[in-house]
Structure 1
Amino acid sequence: MSEDKDVDYSLKNPDVLTKYKTAAAIGEKVLAAVSQLCVAGEKIVTICQKGDKLIEEEVSKVYRTTKLKGFSHPTTVSPSSYVTPYTPLSSDTAEANIELQPGELVKIQLGAQIDGFGSIVCDTIIVPPKEGAEDVVTGRNADLILANYYANELLLRLMMPPGLLASGTDEEKAKAAAVKAPTQSKITSLLDKVVKSYDCNLVESTTSWLFDRNEIEGTKKIVIAPAEGTKGEGVPQVGEVWGVEMGVTLGSGKVKTLNQRATLHRRTNNTYILKSQTARKTLSTIQTKFGHFPFSLRQLEEGETDTKYKVGVFDGVRSNVLRQYELVGEKDGSPVARSLTTLAITKNGITKLGAPPALDLSKYQTDKKITDEDILKILEQPLAKNKGKSKNKKKKPAKKAGKPEEESEAGDDE
């Protein structure tokens, strides 16, 4: 126990960042594979099962002597109007038969963890017809994808601690660092301008969390378009890892709880001696296989020979040692786009650990564009110091829908 306490689990320990990056690489690899599985007529449950199997296979190839590794998030595939991750049960006949439809927007979310250092990634794709994907996306789907993309790029830059990449004299650097970080209401205001440029809305209470070892909902959070009674806490700082989420909709942005069974759960930090032996056995299985990371009831269901785990999960939720994630969707049933990026903030800037693949902007055409000069200036900013050869400065994104500068290598040091 004392030896464990002496271990440095911060980004100052190079091995920690390596583990984050290893987990993130697995997540991105599996995300790409699962995206290819999302074709018209394919069952969501089948895609989730295959995605989970891929995560297990990839994790088994790395850190072979590390016992604490596996999922940081099970494979979920959420239909068009769903806001939260969706992972149906094999035993629920109705939901197990849900198939993807051509042209449908779906959100894929999954992740891996190594030694408790987890990365989660989410991407939104358009389900192609069986004969192949369209070359160019137009209309409202293009508006939605672009609004989510640029809002996400803006949010990543707003995560940057003030003055982190400042250049010039010491006095100029100090002046830049003295600037206050944007308030969460200011962040929402700027993001709202971006999505409004595409006639879209932010999804209420979209939340980004501070990540820590064995924890994806840390002591800090940024809440975008907060619903009544919700608010964020804290500002991003150097040495932190965050899961940064963006949610945009063609609808009002208001959400509702769906009348479907919650299948995504997570172990809480609460301790309680469950009364039944079945419940204790179930909790032990969850703790061993998933730790404090989210898991799907489907993963328990397919690993057991009976259904007694349901009793254990029920007791765990009732005793508050397990948290269940309710299914939430857009209030008026409109399409929703989401993305989730796991990033590290180092002295060299922001490093995307696990992120959706780069969007091919040439495939999305719309007559809408961002015109706000303040936002365009932020989008031009790099995410990290360029440690390699200097590059020619790119043209302003605005005049062509606001393409942000790509980040350069941030380096591994904290």
Structure 2
Amino acid sequence: MSLMEVDSRLDKDNNLSDPNVVTKYRTAADIANSVMRQVVVACQAGRRVVDLCRLGDSLISEATGKIFKKGNLERGIAYPTCVCLNEVVQNFSALEDDGTVLKDGDVVKINLGVHIDGYISSLAHTTVINPTPQQPVTGRSADVVCAAYYAAQVALRLLRPGTTSSDITTAISRVASAFNCSPVAGTSSHQIKRFILEAGQEIPNAIDDETQAEEFEITEGEAYTIDVVLSTSAGSYREPDPRPLVLQRDVNTTYALKLKSSRAAYSESAKRYGVFPFATRELFGVDPKFRLGVQECVAHGVLRPRLVGVVGGSERVARFAFTVLVMSSGPLTITAGDLPMPYVHSDFSVDTAGYKDVLEGKARTVKTKALAITEPGPQAMDM
């Protein structure tokens, strides 16, 4: 296939004017939204984090297994369910023997992704374990939740043709400052394409003169994961835990694996997860011998870990993310549109950030279909 033919195929695969493409995005979004709702409801003091991660992944697999059965259409988990507490930023999809449990006061960040035929819909949500749900959570946990929520809403409304990536980064920084919080360096929103979670165009959350991302303009017909991650301090982002809890095949790296268990682990990961990240826990559950095989795969780069990231131990991190299609009529949010917000109250106000008019503008969100579950009524944010 010539380079011109490849470019033509990519354009066709990612054409948002094609109703089949949008249908697959929205079908994946319906599943992602419903699964997230169930995981949020299950976030109660005393629950094991690993149980929540397994719940999310099993619900995604169950739901995607019921649709598009004809042919060999790929579908399933685009990002494993991760549940990150307090100072933990991302990529904590616990191993089976992990004893971490939710406690009162924990700031809980959940993220997950679903794909249908490679079209990815993902989201992240933050909730707080509140022992007195009739009273709002206050203090720094409330500040960072409010800051991240409003920064994500501003970023969403700015994501329209003609806006530059630096406009959005600046807005996120200003909203964070209004709540005496900071964007987490090293985290970003990304353009997405079919089978590609991070498709080149990057919108950093933090303004970083040393590693400044190339500025670009938002264009009609693009799809993005808006992913806003804020912290109660400007502490540095670290990856202190070398354990690979989330892995992903590197399709551009080849190596003749020596161990039989390594070859089997790699083959199984390719068959089950394709090009998408997966929870190491799930692979080990297929065959415990894969533990040894994964070590060689990681050492030679054919499987790449997405390591757990943290900020300072006493800090709190909040995260909100959603998938957005940039249409001719403006940004269309297809995930996270109607999730219940934690009941929090901050003494700070978003009005001081200078984006009041932007926030007052309506954001288009599709009405999602929910799976059959029973859940409590939504909790409103109290500013």
TM-score of the aligned structures, taking structure 1 as reference length = 0.80
Decide whether the 8 Å contact of 1:379 with 1:402 is kept in 2.
Answer: no
Residue 36 (structure 2) aligns with: 31
The residue that corresponds to 1:204 in the other structure is 185
Structure 1 residues 402 and 230: alpha-carbon distance in aligned structure 2, compared to 1, 3 A threshold: farther
The aligned length equals 361
Tell me how far 1:332 sits from its aligned partner: 4.5
In structure 2, what is the Cα distance between the partners aligned to 1:189 and 1:14?
34
- The verdict on how the C-alpha distance between 1:374 and 1:100 changes in structure 2, with shifts beyond 3 A counting, is closer
Correspondence for 2:344 among 345, 364, 367:
364
**C-alpha distance 12-356 of structure 1, shift in aligned 2 (>3 A):** closer
Which one is further off, 57-66 or 6-15? 6-15
Question: 1:224, CA displacement in angstroms?
Answer: 1.9
Partner of 1:46: 51
Structure 1 residues 385 and 98, CA, compared in 2 at 3 Å: closer, same or farther? closer
Higher mean displacement: 229-238 or 101-110: 229-238
Instruction: State the alpha-carbon separation in 1 of the partners of residues 338 and 236 from structure 2.
Output: 28
- Quick check: 1:62 aligned with 2:43? no
CA deviation digits over 1:68-116, x for unaligned, max 9? 11100111111110011201111xx4xx111111120010111211111
On the 8 A contact 2:189/2:203 being kept in 1, the answer is yes
SS at match of 1:123: strand
Q: Which moved more, 1:335-344 or 1:229-238?
A: 229-238
Please give the alpha-carbon distance, in whole angstroms, between the structure 2 residues aligned to 1:218 and 1:313: 26
What CA RMSD, in Å, does the superposition of the two structures yield over aligned residues?
2.7
Matched, 1:152 2:181: no
Check 1:321–1:360 CA distance in 2 against 1; reply closer, same or farther (3 A cut).
closer
1:130-162 residue CA offsets vs partner (Å, 9 max, x unmatched)? xx7344232322222111111111111222113
1:216 maps to 2:221: no
1:329 counterpart (310, 314, 321) = 310
Q: 2:360 maps to what in 1?
A: 380
Secondary structure of residue in 1 paired with 2:113: strand
Identity of aligned residues (%): 28
Answering whether residue 89 of structure 2 is matched by residue 83 of structure 1, we say yes
Higher deviation after alignment, 189-198 or 223-232:
223-232
Q: Is the 8 A contact 2:29 2:334 kept in 1?
A: yes
How far apart in 2 are the matches of 1:322 and 1:211?
A: 21
Residue 108 of structure 1 aligns with which residue?
Answer: 110
Question: Structure 1 counterpart of 2:274, which letter?
Answer: G
Residue in 2 aligned with 1:261?
Answer: 243
The aligned residue for residue 340 of structure 1 is 321
Q: Deviations over 1:50-77 (max 9, x none)?
A: 2211111111121122441110011111
CA 1:282–1:235: 2 relative to 1, 3 Å: farther
CA distance, structure 2, for counterparts of residue 51 and residue 373 of structure 1: 35
| Shift of residue 261, structure 1, vs aligned partner | 1.5
Instruction: Describe the superposition over 1:217-271 as per-residue Cα deviations: whole angstroms up to 9, x where unpaired.
Output: 1121111215564332433211111111101111224222223512111112314
Amino acid at match of 2:144: L
Stretches of structure 2 lacking an aligned partner (at least 5 in a row): 367-380
SS of equivalent to 2:200: coil
Q: Which amino acid aligns with 2:155?
A: L
Against the structure 1 CA distance between its residues 135 and 374, is the aligned structure 2 distance closer, same or farther, given a 3 Å change threshold? closer
> How far apart, CA to CA, are the structure 2 residues paired with 1:357 and 1:330?
29
Structure-2 residue corresponding to 1:252: 234
Amino acid corresponding to residue 287 of structure 1 in structure 2? A
- CA 1:356/1:280 → structure 2, altered by over 3 Å: closer, same or farther? farther
Q: Deviations over 1:184-209 (max 9, x none)?
A: 2x433332221222221211122111
Give the equivalent residue in structure 1 for 2:286: 303
Distance 1:228 1:182, change over 3 A: closer
| Cα pair 2:245 2:281 within 8 Å, conserved | yes
How far 1:27 sits from its partner (Å)?
0.7
SS, match of residue 33 in structure 1: helix
Shift of 1:382: 3.1
> 1:143: which partner in 2?
143
Does structure 1 residue 20 correspond to structure 2 residue 25? Answer: yes
Work out the CA distance in 2 between the residues paired with 1:228 and 1:316. 35
The change in CA–CA distance for 1:108 and 1:205 in structure 2 (over 3 A counts) is same
- What's 1:237 paired with? 219
Alpha-carbon distance in 2 for matches of 1:60, 1:297? 21
Distance between the aligned counterparts of 1:271 and 1:260, measured in 2? 21
State the alpha-carbon separation in 1 of the partners of residues 360 and 278 from structure 2.
38
Give the distance between the partners of 2:207 and 2:242, measured in 1 at CA: 24
Change (3 A) 1:288 1:274: same
Write the letter of the residue equivalent to 1:259. Answer: D
Superposition TM-score, scaled by structure 2 size: 0.86
Q: In structure 2, what is the equivalent of residue 168 of structure 1?
A: none
Q: CA deviation at 1:315?
A: 2.6
> What's the CA shift for 1:26?
0.5
In structure 2, distance between residues paired with 1:350 and 1:155: 10
1:142-181 pair list within 5 angstroms: 142-162=142-162, 181=163
Task: Find the partner of 1:122 among 113, 121, 124.
Answer: 124
Larger radius of gyration: 1
Matched AA of 2:251: N
Bigger mean CA deviation after superposition, 254-263 or 341-350: 254-263
Question: In the alignment, is the contact (CA less than 8 A) between 1:86 and 1:327 conserved in 2?
Answer: yes
Residue equivalent to 1:393: none
